[in-house]
């Protein structure tokens, strides 16, 4: 078992979580909690794969996935922003809806033939750097490289640009933002849409790059929920979200690969000789998500950090409050 | 929310004016809104089925006749509704406190595992009387579900860990846990299931009494329904007629007021999560001993916990209403098994939930259409 290979594959599979987490992070920064990530990812994975099969063009598949998931996200936006319903229940409903729609439209898709995937390539020079080169820059999908660019861009956008300032204002103190002439409602719709687009991209990354194909609900296997958990762990910071995503990606790979070899670090590999221990390995990503939440929440209490102040509350013009 | 000012929208020569409701709407109004929302959802679902190449009308007629057509299928519908009653009771009590327990699925699975352990470990000898087996299995099933609810409750109370994510993660862990036992420890000659439970470890079914009452021939409705109805009545009494229930409702409606009144939110969070888990645990116990009669992952982890969320919401968290709504959803699940494409029941559930949440708006606001320029 080669750790460089595992980390390389881990970065690739972590990209799925990264896109979903960055999208959720932006929506939550605008004050809207969207628990529909899992559903939107399934929509993305299903539509990307089916469009890529139908047209032979994976790029088109990714594009359709992003648009479809973005459109679906607007149902949640309408319910929680305009109709001011509870964001938790609406987000859950969106997950049910997204799962259902993708199962119906994706019926029979898993038996479909092979599909051309998103291209992979190595970056010259950078891939020659010892250790880091092969992990991050050798034979990665173009989507993985897009992920690298998106992290600093998102950070810069949120923290150093004028629209980013408006975004934070809308999530922290919407009535003040409103008084400044920022259209709180439009901004929230916009960032829920962006969140949906990125969740769709995450789904497309699964079905057209990481583990190609459509395996109904198992395609995402709860990664949308892990992404929501990662945003809390990340304390709404894109760089921490990236670290968390890649770490989880590596863990997922490690679990898959650790059962292969007969010996591990020169010892008999217990996971090879006891294949049923694999069920405990499968629990790890979910158990780690809970642990990561405990760490994130304790840290938040200690440093007095917190979620965007208006997260989860509808904005009603003229109502006293935030 | 009720004090908010009106939102105005301009539409051509008319204006839709939204006013917050200050008075309580009539008794029939919420039910009418919910039913309209479901009809709207069914129409919307029909459109999607047509788009996906199915026949919507046929699907719905099939659902109706395959679930209420005769006493046999009605009994099957009730069998499907039984686990949903218990999981949605579990969700309703947690939701009442605004604790988002999405983990009824995992607690249900653990309840089934706990009950099975009595037979498979084996804790009780196989020839033990049914009347010792059943109470024992209920107790252990409840305890296992409650333990699975305790974890997220404790983490929420002590570390403010988001219970939505933690309960969801515990669902996946519960599936792996049961898989381990089914595959590795209790596997019946290599199959992914345990051996069949003996008759004294199974809940009595109506068909067991067919000798005395010939009407019951072939009816699989089992004692789990009784557990569900008793649990619903007890839960209704607890939530609406007890001091503890008052505390739960107060925390849900206004946590600050509850804190001022000296109610411990920490303790109630843990207790309510455990109660919720215990109810889902009975559901798992009833399913494994009343229907499946062996421990096997796929029929147990079939999504009853998630359907319970929708049913709880549809029943407006009222334990008695849950019984009736569960029967409707039992019908949807029963008939949905044969419908193509197979994702249809899940999608319809999703659309119903979305419409319901959107329709709640009509309970909070009054819509008035007024001509522009006309004084109101």
Render pLDDT for A144-177 as a digit per residue (tens, 0 to 9).
999 999 999 999 999 999 999 999 999 999 999 9
Which tokens sit at B64? Answer: 């109706």
Judge if the upstream peptide bond of residue B122 is cis by omega within 30 degrees of 0.
yes
Q: What is the pTM of this model?
A: 0.90
| Ranges in chain B, pLDDT < 70 | 1-13, 340-341, 372-376
B340: three-class secondary structure by DSSP: coil
Q: How far is B4 from chain A (nearest CA, A)?
A: 6
CA distance, residue A279 to nearest chain B CA (Å): 5
CA angle A84, A86, A92 (to 5 degrees): 125
Interface test with B, best of A87, A99, A104, A284 (most B CBs within 10 A): A104
Q: Across residues A103-109, what is the average pLDDT? A: 84
Please report the ipTM that was assigned to this predicted complex.
0.89
Q: What is the distance of C-alpha B110 from the center of its chain?
A: 16
Cα of A282 to nearest chain B Cα, Å: 7
Q: Spell out which residues of chain B touch residue A97, defining contact as CB-CB under 8 Å.
A: 347, 350-351, 353-354
Q: Nearest Cβ partner of B160 from A86, A287, A297?
A: A297
* Sign of the alpha-carbon dihedral angle for A207, A212, A213, A217: negative
pLDDT at B372 (0 to 100): 67
CB contact at 8 A, B138 and B231: no
| Of B104, B132, B120, B163, the residue nearest B302 (C-alpha) | B104
Q: Do B169 and A35 touch (CB under 8 A)?
A: no
Q: Say yes or no: B33 contacts chain A, CB-CB below 8 A.
A: no
Kindly give, in sequence order, each residue whose CB lies less than 8 Å from that of residue B135, ignoring residues fewer than 6 positions away.
none
Query: Does A103 touch chain B if contact means CB atoms closer than 8 Å?
Result: yes
Closest to B145 measured CA to CA, from B323, B376, B308, B358? B308
Q: Is B313 on the interface with A (CB under 8 A)?
A: yes
B110 touches chain A (CB under 8 A): no
> Which of B52, B165, B176 faces A105 most closely, judged by CB atoms?
B52
pLDDT at B4: 44
Q: Which residue of A has its CA nearest to B348?
A: A100
Provide the mean pLDDT of chain A: 90
Angle at B352 between CA B351 and CA B353, to 5 degrees: 90
Q: Look at residue A271 in the predicted model and tell me its pLDDT.
A: 82
Which residues, in sequence order, are CB contacts of B176 under 8 Å at separation 6+? A279, A280, A282, A283
Interval A16-45 mean pLDDT:
96
- pLDDT for B53 equals 76
- Whether residue B180 and residue A276 make contact (CB cut-off 8 A), yes or no, is yes
Is residue A321 a contact partner of residue A313, using CB atoms and an 8 Å limit?
A: yes
Q: Which of residues 143-172 of B touch A (CB under 8 A)?
A: 155, 159-162, 164-166, 168-170, 172
Fold of B55-339: ABC transporter involved in vitamin B12 uptake, BtuC (1.10.3470)
Residue of A nearest to B179 (CA): A279
Residue B13 CA to residue B68 CA, distance in Å, equals 48
Dist CA A78 CA B354 (whole Å): 11
Contact A217/A96 with Cβ under 8 angstroms? no
Polymer length of chain B: 376
pLDDT at residue A264 is higher than 80: no
Taking an 8 Å cut-off on Cβ atoms, the answer to whether A290 and B347 are in contact is no
Nearest-Cα distance to chain B for A265, in Å, is 26
Better pLDDT: B30 or A243: A243
- B 41-100: CB under 8 A from A: 48-49, 52, 100
At residue A111 the predicted structure's pLDDT band, cuts being 50, 70 and 90, is low
Q: Considering CB atoms only, which of B3, B161, B349 is closest to A293?
A: B161
Q: What angle do CA B279, A290, A297 make, to 5 degrees?
A: 110
Q: What are the two backbone dihedrals, phi and then psi, of residue B30, each rounded to the nearest 5 degrees?
A: -60, -40
CB A100 to CB B358 under 8 A?
no
| Structural domain spans, chain A | 11-121+134-240
How does pLDDT run across B140-198, given as a tens digit for each residue? Answer: 999 999 999 999 999 999 998 989 889 999 999 999 999 999 999 999 888 889 999 98
Maximum distance among all Cα pairs of chain A, rounded to whole angstroms:
68
Q: How far apart are CA A171 and CA A177, in angstroms?
A: 9
The phi-psi region of residue B321 (left if phi > 0; otherwise alpha if psi is between -120 and 50; otherwise beta) is alpha
């Amino acid at each position: 078992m080669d750790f460089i290979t595992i980390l390389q594959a881990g970065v690739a599979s972590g990209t799925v979580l990264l896109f979903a987490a960055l999208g959720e992070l932006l929506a939550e920064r605008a004050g809207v909690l969207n628990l529909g990530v899992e559903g939107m990812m399934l929509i993305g994975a299903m539509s990307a794969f089916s469009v890529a099969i139908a047209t032979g063009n994976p790029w088109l598949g990714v594009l359709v996935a992003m648009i479809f998931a973005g459109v679906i996200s607007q149902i949640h936006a309408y319910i929680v922003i305009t109709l001011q319903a509870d964001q938790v229940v609406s987000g859950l409903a969106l997950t049910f809806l997204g799962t259902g729609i993708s199962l119906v439209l994706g019926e029979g898709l898993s038996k479909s033939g092979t599909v051309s995937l998103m291209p992979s390539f190595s970056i010259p020079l950078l891939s020659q750097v010892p250790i880091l080169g092969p992990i991050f820059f050798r034979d990665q999908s173009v989507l993985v490289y897009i992920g690298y660019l998106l992290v600093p861009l998102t950070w810069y956008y949120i923290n150093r640009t004028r629209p980013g300032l408006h975004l934070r204002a809308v999530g922290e103190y919407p009535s003040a933002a409103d008084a400044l002439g920022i259209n709180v409602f439009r901004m929230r719709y916009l960032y829920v849409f962006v969140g949906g687009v990125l969740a769709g991209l995450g789904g497309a990354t699964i079905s057209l790059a990481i583990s190609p194909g459509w395996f109904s609900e198992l395609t995402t296997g709860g990664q949308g929920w892990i992404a929501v958990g990662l945003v809390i762990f990340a304390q709404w910071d894109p760089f921490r979200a990236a670290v968390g995503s890649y770490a989880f990606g590596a863990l997922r790979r490690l679990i898959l690969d650790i059962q292969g070899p007969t010996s591990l670090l020169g010892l008999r590999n217990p996971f090879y000789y006891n294949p049923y221990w694999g069920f405990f390995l499968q629990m790890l990503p979910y158990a780690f998500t809970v642990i990561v939440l405990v760490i994130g929440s304790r840290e938040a209490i200690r440093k007095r950090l917190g979620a965007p102040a208006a997260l989860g509350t509808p904005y009603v013009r003229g109502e006293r409050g935030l | 929310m009720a004090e908010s000012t009106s939102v105005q929208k301009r539409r051509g020569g008319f204006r839709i004016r939204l006013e917050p409701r200050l008075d309580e709407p009539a008794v029939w109004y919420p039910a009418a809104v919910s039913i309209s929302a479901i009809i709207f959802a069914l129409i919307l679902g029909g459109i999607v089925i047509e788009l996906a190449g199915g026949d919507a009308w046929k699907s719905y007629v099939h659902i109706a006749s395959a679930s209420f057509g005769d006493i046999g299928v009605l009994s099957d519908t009730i069998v499907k509704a039984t686990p949903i009653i218990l999981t949605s009771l579990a969700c309703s009590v947690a939701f009442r406190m605004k604790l988002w327990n999405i983990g009824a699925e995992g607690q249900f699975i653990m309840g089934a595992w706990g009950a099975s352990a009595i037979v498979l470990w084996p804790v009780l000898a196989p020839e033990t009387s049914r009347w010792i087996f059943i109470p024992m299995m209920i107790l252990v099933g409840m305890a296992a579900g409650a333990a699975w609810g305790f974890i997220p409750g404790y983490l929420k109370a002590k570390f403010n860990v988001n219970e939505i994510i933690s309960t969801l993660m515990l669902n996946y862990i519960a599936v792996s846990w049961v898989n381990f036992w089914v595959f590795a420890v209790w596997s019946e000659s290599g199959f992914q299931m345990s051996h069949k439970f003996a008759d004294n470890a199974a809940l009595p079914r109506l068909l067991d009494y067919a000798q005395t009452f010939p009407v019951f021939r072939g009816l699989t409705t089992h004692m789990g329904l009784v557990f569900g109805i008793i649990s619903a009545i007890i839960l209704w009494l607890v939530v609406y007629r007890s001091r503890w229930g008052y505390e739960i409702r107060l925390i849900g409606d206004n946590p600050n007021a509850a804190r001022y009144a000296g109610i411990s939110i920490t303790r109630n969070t843990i207790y309510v999560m455990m109660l919720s888990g215990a109810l889902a645990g009975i559901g798992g116990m009833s399913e494994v001993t009343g229907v499946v009669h062996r421990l096997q992952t796929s029929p147990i982890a079939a999504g009853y916990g998630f359907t319970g969320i929708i049913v709880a919401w549809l029943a407006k968290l009222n334990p008695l209403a849950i019984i009736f709504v569960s029967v409707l959803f039992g019908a949807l699940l029963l008939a949905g098994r044969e419908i193509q494409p197979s994702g249809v029941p899940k999608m319809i559930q999703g659309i119903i939930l979305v419409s319901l949440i959107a329709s709640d708006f009509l309970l909070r606001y009054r819509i008035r259409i007024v001509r522009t320029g006309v004084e109101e």
